[in-house]
Chain A
Amino acid sequence: MTGSRSLRLGVLYPREMNLYGDRGNVLALVRRAALRGVELEVTTLGLDGGDPEEIQSCSGFLIGGGQDLDQLALAHDLVTRKGPALREQVSSGAPLLAVCAGYQLLGDHYRTAAGDLIPGLGILPMRTEAGRRRLVGNILVAASPGLGLANPLLVGFENHSGRTILDPGLPPLGRVVRGGGNDGDSGAEGAVLGPVIGTYLHGPLLPKNPALADWWLFTAADRTGTTIERSQLDDTAEEAARREAIRITLSGSRSRGYRLLGRRPRIRRTG
């Protein structure tokens, strides 16, 4: 495949897992791929599709957020039908970016408020438990330098009641600057393991964090030997939207600083 100029993106459950504008992530990847001289073909891997052969034909994957009910219906399909092929792809370096409920599904399990266990894919050594309060609001995260992002400050919006606990040794995607993150307490947000990134940031994530979109594209290109233009793009509009979001996030009253003073962060209660 050396020298090829195309990549294939597999979007998992786009109908069911698109609660928070996650469609914007697909738009961002397609657009940036085109600007980098690569045609990104989008394949949907829904409940009624996504055979192992289809999964094997993809260069990388996206999975978004969904409602609790959807998550239940999907978990079984994800784990049993798509799990083996997905795991194989990821272990050979295919990027997988998972947001919110999709992130939770990558762990060992999700324990609902009612105590039910929803089994996850187990790609990330972590688990999620339903929390009493929901973490809702704009969020700012300093991504781990190990990812080598051109701009490591990630901005987005989080809205989740699940508390994700990473096993020792699984590094977070980054440290929370403003907002809740994995559990509202530890300051950790998301998780990274090789070509797999899980995060609670929607907003959607990639249009306002083009460095992360590039991470996905470069990882996919590296793995498939695809030629891709790697120079800095003109991100004037992206930067303007980023600045606007960062300014609003920083002007909010929720901050890590409160926790250092021994106070709980101000988090709105669930309805």
Chain B
Amino acid sequence: MTRADPRLRLAVLGGKATAWASRSLGMGGGTTLPGDVARAIDPRILRKLGASPRLGIILVTGTNGKTTTSALLRQIAAAAGWRTGGNQSGSNLIYGLTAATVAQADLRGRMELDWLVLEVDELSAALAAGELRPGILVVLNAFRDQLDRSFEVDQVAARLGEAVAALPEGAVAVLNSDDPRIAALEGGPNASHFGIEDRELDRGGLPESADRPVCPRCGGSLRFDAVYYGQCGDYHCPACGWSRPSPAVRVTRLLTAGLDHMELNLAGPGGGAGPLPVPLAGAHNAANVAAAAAAALAMGASWEQIRRGLEEFRPAFGRSQVVPWRQSQVRLLLAKNPAGMEASLETVLGAGSGPVLGLALNDGIADGTDISWIWDVEFERLASGGPRWVVLSGRRAAELELRLRYAGLDGSRLLLRPGAEEALDELAARAAPGLPAPALLTYTAMLAWHRAVVGTGGAQPFWTEGG
């Protein structure tokens, strides 16, 4: 960055003015348009802001867990006393990253931050890594997600590999040992792996929805000795001997208690921490915690700071968030793809969460317009147990009903309520007293339900959360 860069200043001003105008006009959070404007004025704006002296940049990417892991990292950084910013709104394409970065720059184009923690879309990660030149890149996983946009999982993994390759020299790639496609990425000598090493969490085989990865070295079939979530677990290739790289940061024990709470032990360089109470649930979230801890160690945080950050952490938008509705409560869980839906379903059923469950499926661009993935989710497990009623909602509620009927659920258990408010009404009416009714929703369905709740004064608009 030059001393006085009029174009950069104009771009920052333009971006900030757009954000202000967009909010004042009630157009929403202004989470991407300011980025459009700023990049139109100065296409090199991210390179320039990213090069601010003393600013460390962390990118978090992968199909599932980006928002949670970024939020965990920001909380740990705050616990360490570092000035931290990011894209809390979850706007994670290049324009959203630009908007979030501009929002945190001053009018002279300077970033008065120690760390900028940005979650970034899998397909935008290479571009973002090239422009922002991050010190740390966290790669969580590659699942089947919104297939009409991301295409095939192997291609997504290849794009994540490009992001790792785009890292500047000396940067740290934090990689998931448990996901074979991520473990196989060439992280170089600075790579730091994280993973789960608690065999109690083995679900005993790959779920139907998992994308069977082949051995990245020889193309042979991988053998799984344990599966924790999706295609993530402990594996090796019987043909060529390639096996899961040993993680530096490990979840050695996980105790899940309920839908929004777990205790885990972490081990890693310099010791570890535990038992750590974290307000999250499920093996996939334990992996997110390990990822955040591995990145935090690379930032220079101590185990004590990691422990404090995790304790003070509160879940991000729609990640197991309880909202009030008509004298009752509903727990909203984001489930945007088979791996996420499977994980949330497992968590909900494991917690024994009452007589009614909500499912909402939209097919907007942000959800993925191809909803065929719901046929891969093992809803069959709802046939023999689980909640007595299932409320089906969203633009594709009828498709959900068909799926659940084919999963063996009797029609009398299925309540078709396409609209957000009527679905919330039904859940509230049937929820057990004092036990929030859980609902699993795709992204825009989550927004719609959130809008309904905000309309009744029950929650803050999402873009103000954490910001």
Query: Chain A: residues with CB nearer than 8 A to chain B?
Result: 15-16, 18-24, 27-28, 31, 47, 67-69, 73, 134, 136-138, 157, 159, 202-204, 207-208, 237-238, 240-241, 243-245, 248, 268, 270-271
Contacts and interface: CB of A to CB of B under 8 A. Distances in A.
Contacts of B406: 24, 27-28, 31, 207
Given A69-B214, A73-B214, A73-B219, A203 B150 contact: no
A202 B372 contact: yes
A144 to B, nearest CB: 24
Interface stretch (B6-14, B22-30, B129-137, B393-401): B393-401
Given A27-B406, A73-B219, A271-B159, A21 B372 contact: yes
Given A21-B376, A23-B375, A67 B147 contact: no
Given A21-B374, A21-B375, A27-B406, 16 more contacts: A23-B208, A23-B375, A23-B376, A24-B375, A67-B152, A67-B153, A68-B152, A159-B147, A204-B372, A207-B402, A208-B402, A241-B401, A244-B395, A244-B396, A248-B363, A270-B151
Contacts of A270: 151
Nearest to B396: A244
Contacts of A237: 398, 401-402, 405, 411
Interface string B386-415: 000000000111110111011100010000
B154 interface: yes
A244 B398 contact: yes
B198 interface: no
Contacts of B147: 19-20, 159
Q: Which of B150, B154, B375, B405 is the most central at the interface, judged by chain A CB atoms within 10 Å of its CB? A: B375
A27 B398 contact: no
Given A69-B214, A159-B148, A237-B405, A138 B369 contact: yes
Interface of B: 123, 144, 147-155, 159, 208, 212, 214, 219, 221, 363, 369-376, 395-399, 401-403, 405-407, 411
Given A21-B372, A69-B214, A241 B398 contact: yes
Given A271-B123, A271-B159, A203 B372 contact: yes
12 contacts: A68-B154, A69-B219, A157-B370, A157-B372, A204-B375, A237-B398, A237-B402, A244-B395, A244-B397, A244-B399, A270-B151, A271-B150
A238 B399 CA distance: 8
Interface pairs A-B: 10 shortest CB-CB = A21-B375, A21-B372, A24-B375, A240-B398, A241-B402, A244-B398, A67-B152, A241-B398, A27-B406, A20-B372
B395 A248 contact: yes
A170 to B, nearest CB: 27
A254 B369 CA distance: 14
A245 B376 contact: no
Given A68-B152, A159-B148, A207-B406, A16 B212 contact: yes
B405 A24 contact: no
Nearest to A70: B214
A69 B150 contact: no
A119 B374 CA distance: 32
Contacts of B214: 69, 73
B422 to A, nearest CB: 16
B273 to A, nearest CB: 39
Contacts of B371: 157
Nearest to A30: B406
Contacts of A137: 148, 369
Contacts of A243: 398
Nearest to A203: B372
A67 B156 CA distance: 12
Q: Which of A23, A238, A268 is the most central at the interface, judged by chain B CB atoms within 10 Å of its CB? A: A23
B150 A157 contact: no
Contacts of B221: 47
Contacts of B397: 244
Nearest to B373: A21
Contacts of B403: 24, 207
A204 B402 CA distance: 11
Nearest to B411: A237
A179 to B, nearest CB: 12
A86 to B, nearest CB: 23
A15 B398 contact: no
Nearest to B374: A21
Contacts of B374: 21
B399 A245 contact: yes
Nearest to B210: A15
A122 B150 CA distance: 31
B184 to A, nearest CB: 13
